[in-house]
A and B are shown apart, each in its own frame.
Chain A
C-alpha cells in the first residue's frame, strides 16, 4: 500500500470516529451547544481541555521552534503550561461559581455595563481570530503534505473541514470528540518520539533520552547537538540568551494569555462543582504535560537527525568537524522525504555554488573558505514534527498516525475557538445586547453564520500568516493576556474595581498591544504594511511583538487602577456578587438564561 493510501486510511478512520461521536452526542438545546449540560467529570474535562488547548501550534509547530531556537524557545514550554497555575488559582474556580456561559457574560455582569460587555466581546474576537489564523497555517501544512496538494489548497481544505466539523455539534459533541482527539494526538505524538529516542540513545523514554548519551558518538546527546550546530555556524542549542528581559516577558505573556483565552476558560463552566474546576485544571495540565515534556526531545532529536541526514559524516564520533562538513549529500541522492515535502513548497533547494551537494548552514556566517556561497536548503519549521518519522525512517503506519494526530490537533482547537467566537456573537452580542427575544433557532443560526465568517477571515489571513503557526498563536495569547486576563482577575480580587476602570483598562491593554504588534508585523497582519522592520534593533527595550502582551497587561492593570480610584465605587449588589464568587458554597449548575 502506498504512503498516500496509508495516510488517507488513518486520517479517514480518525475522522469517522470523531463524526460518529459528534452524531451520538448531538447538541439538542442551546445550553448543550455551549456547555455540555454542566455534567462533565474533571478527568474527562481535563482531557478535553488538553485537546482543545493543544492545537496545531503545540503539535505541529512547537517542536520545530524548539529545534531551531533551542533553549531560547523554552518560553513556549513554560508559558503554555505555567498559565494553568494562574488559571487554577486566580480564575477558574470563581468563574465556575459565577455560573454563566461566557467570558463577556462575566465581564458584563460584574462590571454592570453593556459597554464593558461589548469591549470584552471585541477583545475576545480579536484574540480568537488571531489564534485561528495560526491554526489554519498549521492545518494547511498538515493537509498539503498528506493529501499531496499545494499549501494554499491545504489551507482551504482545512477551512472547509473545520467549518463542517464545528457547525455539526456544539460543546457537547466537542467535549466527547475532543477526548477521542486527545487520545489520537497523544499517541501520534509520543510513538514516533519513543522510536527516535530509542534509535538515538537506546533509552525509549524521550524525556530521559534527551539527557542521555548519543549512542553513535558516545557523548551526551545535547553536547553532540551543540557541536553539530556550531560547526554549521549556528548558536549552541543549549546556549543561554542575552536578552533575559524579553524572555521573561514572553513567558509571562503566554502565561497570562493562557488564563485569558476564552475557549479555555469556557471549559471550566462545564464541571459540576467549584472544587472540580480546580482539579480539572490540574488534570488538564497532566495531559498537556505528556506532550510538552516530550516536545523538547522531539525538537532536539529532529534537529540532530536533520543535520546528520545532510552531513552523514557528522553522525558518529567526529575528530575534526571542519572535515566532516566537507561532504554533504548530493542533491540527486536526497532522501524521499525531501522529495515529497518539496512538492508542498515547504522545503526548497537552490544550488548556489553549483556543486550538486546540499549545503545547509547559517549563512549569516561567512564560510566562503569552505566553498559555500549561501544556505541552499530552506526548511519550514512547521514541517519538522510531521516529517520527523520520515526523517528517522520509521514505518509507514507511524507517518499515517502523525498525519491523523496533526489534523486532530488543529481541528479540535479551531473548533473550540470558533465556538467561543460564535457564542460571543450570537449569545453575548445578539441575544444579550441587541435582541433578547431571539428564538433558540435564530440564536443557533447566528452562531453558525458567525463561525462561517470567522473562518473565512482567518483562512484569508492564514494564506499569508504573520509567522509560523506557534508564533501567530503566541500573538493571540499576548492579545488575550493584555485585554481579558486583567479584567477577569480584578473582577474577582478587587471589590473596588468599577466599570469605567475595567473598560479603560481593557481598551488600553488591547490597543497598546495591537499597535505594538501591527507596527512590526503589518497592519491587521496584511503583509508588507509594517511601519518598522521586525528586527531586535527596532524593538523598544528589545521587547519583541510576541512578548508585548505582558507589558499590555501591566498597562491594563495600571490604567484600570488609576481610573477606578477617581470614579465612583461599584454599587453594593455588585460588591455582594464579588463576595459570593469567592466562596464555593451555593454554586448551582451553570445558570440558564
Chain B
C-alpha cells in the first residue's frame, strides 16, 4: 500500500511537470509570439505582414494541436510506466 502511494505520487508529479512544460509552450506562442512579442518579431516578414501576425492567426492554432497530441502520447506512456492505466 505504501508503495502504491509513492508510485501514485510519482505519477502525479510527473503529470504536473509535463503539464507545466506544455502550458509554457502554449503561453509562449499565444500570449508571447502572437501578442506581447509581436513588435520584436516585426522584422520577420511573412506574406505581406510579419511573423507575429502569422502566429496570431495560424501558428498558435497549429502549435495547440501538436501540444495536445504530444501530451496524450506522453501520458499514455506514463500510464503504462506506473501501471496506472486502465
Contacts and interface: CB of A to CB of B under 8 A. Distances in A.
A558 interface: no
Contacts of B47: 210-212, 220-222
A273 B49 contact: no
A322 interface: no
Interface in A348-381: none
Given A89-B22, A275-B76, A78 B60 contact: yes
Contacts of B53: 71, 74, 222, 238
Contacts of A78: 30, 34, 56, 60-61
Contacts of B65: 282, 285-286, 289
11 contacts: A71-B56, A74-B57, A77-B56, A77-B61, A81-B61, A81-B64, A82-B60, A220-B47, A221-B47, A244-B36, A247-B35
A207 B48 CA distance: 14
Contacts of A285: 64-65, 68
A289 B35 contact: no
B61 A85 contact: no
Interface of B: 8, 11-12, 15, 19, 22-23, 26, 30-31, 34-36, 38-39, 42, 46-50, 52-54, 56-58, 60-62, 64-65, 67-69, 71-72, 75-76, 79, 83-86
A533 interface: no
Interface-centre pick from A274, A275, A583 (highest chain B CB count, 10 A): A583
The binding surface of chain A is classed by DSSP as: helix
A289 B85 contact: no
Contacts of A279: 69, 72
Contacts of A77: 56-57, 60-61
Contacts, number: 138
Given A90-B19, A278-B72, A279-B72, A584 B84 contact: yes
A211 B56 CA distance: 13
Contacts of A13: none
B54 to A, nearest CB: 7
A252 B26 CA distance: 11
A296 interface: yes
A289 B72 CA distance: 18
B71 A88 contact: yes
Contacts of A210: 47, 57
A473 B64 CA distance: 22
Contact of B58 (A66, A293, A587): A293
A161 interface: no
Contact of A238 (B22, B35, B49): B49
A226 B53 CA distance: 13
Interface in A443-463: none
Contacts of A240: 38-39, 42, 52
A235 B50 CA distance: 16
Contacts of A247: 35
A85 B72 CA distance: 11
A18 B21 CA distance: 42
A252 B11 CA distance: 29
A323 B69 CA distance: 53
A84 interface: yes
The binding surface of chain B is classed by DSSP as: helix
A585 B68 contact: no
Contacts of B19: 89-90
Contacts of A222: 47-49, 53
A143 interface: no
A86 interface: yes
A433 interface: no
A207 B68 contact: no
A289 B54 CA distance: 15
A579 interface: yes
A221 B49 CA distance: 9
A223 interface: yes
A211 B86 contact: no
B68 A587 contact: no
A591 interface: no
Given A78-B56, A293-B61, A251 B31 contact: yes
Nearest to B5: A579
A36 interface: no
B68 A88 contact: yes
A485 B73 CA distance: 25
Contacts of B67: 85
A170 B50 CA distance: 47
B68 A584 contact: no
Contacts of A579: 8
A562 interface: no
A221 B26 contact: no
A318 interface: no
Contacts of A515: none
B61 A289 contact: yes
A10 interface: no
Given A74-B57, A248-B31, 6 more contacts: A81-B60, A82-B30, A222-B49, A251-B31, A251-B35, A279-B72
Given A81-B60, A85-B26, A584-B85, A275 B48 contact: no
A242 B30 CA distance: 17
A278 B86 CA distance: 14
B83 to A, nearest CB: 8
A339 interface: no
Contacts of A23: none
Interface in A440-486: none
B86 A292 contact: no
Given A221-B47, A587-B86, A211 B79 contact: no
Interface in A275-305: 275, 278-279, 281-282, 285-286, 289, 292-293, 296
Contacts of A224: 48
A334 interface: no
A93 B12 CA distance: 13
A251 B30 CA distance: 9
A84 B34 CA distance: 18
A278 B38 CA distance: 31
Given A584-B86, A585-B84, A296 B57 contact: yes
